[in-house]
Structure formats: structure tokens, C-alpha cells
Amino acid sequence: MKITGAEAVMKCLKEQDVKVIFGFPGGAVIDLYDEILKNNDLTHVLVRHEQAAVHAADAYARVIGDVGVALVTSGPGATNTVTGIASAYCDSIPLVVFTGQVPTALIGNDAFQEVDIVGITRPCTKHNYLVKDPKDLIPTIREAFHIARTGRPGPVLIDLPKDVVAAKVTYSEPKPVKMRTYKPTYEPHPGQIEKACKSILTASKPVFYIGGGVIASNAHDEVTELARKLSAPVTMTLMGLGGFPGTDPLSMGMLGMHGTYYSNMAVANCDVLIAIGARFDDRVTGRIDAFAPNAEIIHIDIDPTSISKNVRVDIPIVADCKHAVSAMNSWLDRNKDFKKSEVAKKHAPWLEQIGEWKKKHPLGYVEEKDVIKPQFVVQKLHELTHGEAIITTEVGQNQMWAAQFYHFNKPRSFMTSGGLGVMGYGFPAAIGAQMAAPGKTVIDIAGDGSIQMNIQELATARQYKCPVKIAILNNNYLGMVRQWQELFYDKRYSATTLDTAPDFVKLAEAYGAVGLRASKPSEVEPVIKEALKTDNTVIMDFVISREEGVYPMVPAGKATTEMLLV
């Protein structure tokens, strides 16, 4: 059957069960947009900036647990996606990004809106393609989705010259994709599983350290079962929040630069560290030679290049996290020498030690009678949503306060740009999350600086009736940089004071959204309640303590035990 390239793209999207795409049109993709009109079962979300399209697709992918899709035009349309693609790459999020391209005959001629987006995105995509021959179009799209969602997930870009999209191609029924040089390892080696389990059983001070790989592989239940079976404490990376219940007695919250005192102390003093789907980021390890210095390290990851990349690993397990942890649970269940009650008794002194650290330096802040503390706002958001909301964040202090004080019990409930740290991620991500989960409460916790990076998406939220709530922690500063200037540059606040800012309440109203403001602690709860009961997009402007800091904090280059405390 002969169809146009544009029709083939739509058929391939249906094959992949794509329901929503985020994009912005242009001349190079006008045939694709014309085809979209003929596909009523495909929702296209018209964003106001291409960067937002990728962030929205990123969050959509995180919520549904499958591939997110973005479509943009050539030239600046394509280059505007790079930040979103790089963010998804750092966080291992499965995306397929379609970019338009000038006709093949003009490639390399400096044609209008021509750019080498394949070359530009080579370092920040899992794979990318320039389709120069129409007969390669359909196989390329099928292969791209396969690569994006298998192994360690990631973004894949497909660059589509205008003449390829217009050409006639032969449509063939889909078959399983087979790639000779791409075969991710899902099953763990039984010998390594046995070695890891025996090591854990010898431990008296074990710690589980889990990352985003636990969520990506849907290993949440298996990890929870294993930690409880072993009575072992669990700490999480920023990307791993929700991978283990945050309110579980074994949870120590986040570790690293702004992690809890007790998490960092536990990792520094443990004798076995079981890292699952985490990559030992520098924000987690601090000074590498002081990170878990006395521990035997077990590392489970589907990406073999992550093993021993940043820290030495004693027992590597290359596998899907869900498969590997299931195998560990099964090994323990089969082992007659494993007695859950005896292991619990053995680990009791270790848990008591962690409990003492928790009492000594709990996560907290100094309350003030007439000034709103940002941590209080996040705590109230947690309380009034019963911990059931999907939270997105921008990047900076707002991100860390959300991570510390909104206790995530479920996976796929916290969306943030972890690896790249993109200001402007949270709001379009909230729109993407809301499109994926229309019945859920979705809140973007933002700073007054970061929200302005993609504030134009208020129009998108209103157009698609997304009842997203935006909680701005407004201190008239670029807060995290200001905090560093306060601590390490003698309060020389260079270019971090936001002297001119919009009236966020009026701005919301200008877009037809709802604007609310709280200027003192007693107004916080009424504002949140008012926001939660409206089905419109809402901006909540919380005027917070101007120079509040995020603590604990590990200064750059220091060991994680060298924390600055409240």
C-alpha cells in the first residue's frame, strides 16, 4: 500500500499507541500538521515554545511509563528543543522528538531555517536519525520507539526532510524490531545475585541507595519488599523519590548535597551499600574518596557503562532493576538459612543509631510568626492534598524544598529536571503530567525566577483547560545562587535580585486563569484550599522569607558528612 510520508508517520504513531503529542508547527512540518487534522484519535497540544513541548512530553512519559512525543519544525524550532532533550537524556526519559528539515537537495546549502540538528543533538540523545530516503522512514520510526523505551530509556530524535514527508512510501505491517548491535541485558547473572545476597546477609549496617532506575523499571514494589524483608534503611536520590514510600519508618529521605543528615551519616558509616538504578552523581557523593569509605558496594543498573563510572563497585549486576531485585527476593525466600526475624534483630542496633541521628538533626526550619516559610507551604501542600498530588518543580531552592518536605509514597508522582537542572522545566512538565493524568491534582512548585522561564505556557494550560496549580515561592531572588553568594561570597548578591517582576496575580488573570496571593502564614492554607477547589489553572503567589536557605547543605568539594545545618 502506497501512502505519503506524512500518513506513514501518523500510522506509525498509532502503532506505538501514541495518544498525545506536544508541538509547534512550521513550514518544514506543515504536511504533518495537515495530516494531524485527519486523525481524531491523536491529540496535539500546541505549546507556545518548542522547549516546553519537550518538557511536557518528558513529564507525560514519566506519568504513563512509556514514550513521550514532540513535533517541531526545522531550524530554530529544532534548536529550541535541545535543552529539553538534554534534560531527558540526563534523567533517562524515553522520548521521540520529530524535527522538520529542509528538502534533502538543500541540506548543506544554508537554506532558510536549516540547521544540523542531528549533529547538535548527538551528545544528548540515545540515538538520532536523519531520514534521507523515503523507504527508510517507517523502519526508522519503529526502531526509534524501540530504542527509546528499551534498556536504559532515553530520547531519540528523527529529523524529517520536507520532501521525505511528502514522498510516497510503501506501508508494511509492523514486526518486532531486531537490531544486531543493540541488545540490552535484562536478566541478572545468577552468580552475581547470590554473591550480592550473601554479602547483604553478612552486613550489620546495610543501606539501600535507590535512584530513578527503580521508577523507570517499575521496581517499586520489589524494592519495598526487599528492604522490609531485610529491615534495612533506604535513602533515595532526587530522581528516586517515590521509588520507596517516603513515610515508611525505613525511609531516610534524600541523600547528598541537600539530603538529610541521617542519610548522609548512614551512607558514610554503612558496611554494605546496595545501589539500585542510581548513578553516583556528584551531588550525591560529594568528595568521592569519603563516600561510603568502609562499605562493600553492590550496584544494579541496566547500563553497563554506569558501573564503576564514578565510584568503585565490588559486586556489579547489569540487569533491569525489577528483574534483579525480584531475583534477590527469590534467592532469600529459597535460602533456608535466611530468617527474617534474626536479620531484623541483627540490624536493630543500626536502625537505633539512625534513629538517634534523626533525633539529633531532623529535617526542619525555624518558624516565624509573621513570615511565610517556604517549607511550611510545601508541608501544607502535602497535608491538604493528602500526599496524593503529582508534583513538578522548577530548579533551585523550590526543587529542594519540594524534595525535602513533600513526602512521596508512590512512583511517578514527582517530576523534576534532576540531571541537567533546567529552570523552566516545572510548568510545561505540569501540563504534560496533567494531560497524562486528567483526574489528578498536579502542582508545579516554582520560584519567582524560574517560573518566568516558561511563563508563556499559561496560554497552553488555558487552551487545553489544564487545571494545573502553580505554587510560586516568591522571595524576589534567584534563591539558590543567592544562598551560595551568602555563604561563600560574603553576601555579594551579584545579579540575583529580581528587582522587577510581574504581579503574578494579575498575570494569571490576564490569561484567564486564577491568581491568589498569601503574604502571611495564616493565609497559606486558605489560598491552597481555594486553589484546589477550582477547576481552572491557578497561580498561588506565596510571599516568603526573603533569605531563607536550603539546609542541610554540603558545600561543593566537601564530604557528605561535612554538612551545614540549620
| Cis? peptide before 161, omega within 30° of 0 | no
The question of whether 50 is a catalytic residue gets the answer: yes
The question of whether 388 is a catalytic residue gets the answer: no
Backbone angles phi, psi at 74, to 5 degrees: -80, 180
CA dist 394 and 448 (Å) reads: 10
Instruction: Indicate which residue of 7, 35, 50, 548 is catalytic.
Output: 50
**Cβ contacts of residue 113 below 8 Å, gap of 6+?**
26, 27, 28, 73, 74, 75, 76, 77, 102
Q: Which helix (H) or strand (E) segment is 166 a member of?
A: helix 162-166
Quote helix, strand, coil % in the chain, to nearest 5. Answer: 40, 20, 40
Give one word for 468, left, alpha or beta, with left for phi > 0 and alpha for psi -120 to 50.
beta
The question of whether 113 is a catalytic residue gets the answer: yes
Q: Which residue from 331, 340, 351, 342 is spatially nearest to 229, judged by alpha carbons?
A: 340
Q: Which helix (H) or strand (E) segment is 23 a member of?
A: strand 20-23
CA dist 114 and 108 (Å) reads: 8
Cα 466 from chain centre: 20
SS (H, E, C) 506-518: HHHHHCCCEEEEE
CA dist 17 and 10 (Å) reads: 11
Q: Which residue has the cell 517560573?
A: 451
10 Å CB burial of residue 247 (0-12, 13-18, 19+) is exposed
Instruction: Indicate which residue of 162, 322, 373, 380 is catalytic.
Output: 162
Q: At what angle do helices 82-90 and 50-64 cross, to 10 degrees?
A: 30
Instruction: Indicate which residue of 113, 353, 456, 463 is catalytic.
Output: 113
Strands 2-4 and 168-170: antiparallel
Instruction: Indicate which residue of 480, 540, 553, 563 is catalytic.
Output: 480
Q: What is the largest CA-CA distance in the chain?
A: 73
CB of 266 closer than 8 Å to CB of 280? no
For residue 25 the three cell numbers come to: 508547527
Q: Which residue from 354, 332, 342, 334 is spatially nearest to 200, judged by alpha carbons?
A: 332
CA dist 460 and 48 (Å) reads: 7
CA dist 263 and 241 (Å) reads: 13
The question of whether 112 is a catalytic residue gets the answer: yes
Instruction: Indicate which residue of 14, 38, 112, 339 is catalytic.
Output: 112
The question of whether 440 is a catalytic residue gets the answer: no
Task: Count how many residues are written for the chain.
Answer: 566
The catalytic site residues sit at 50, 112-113, 162, 480
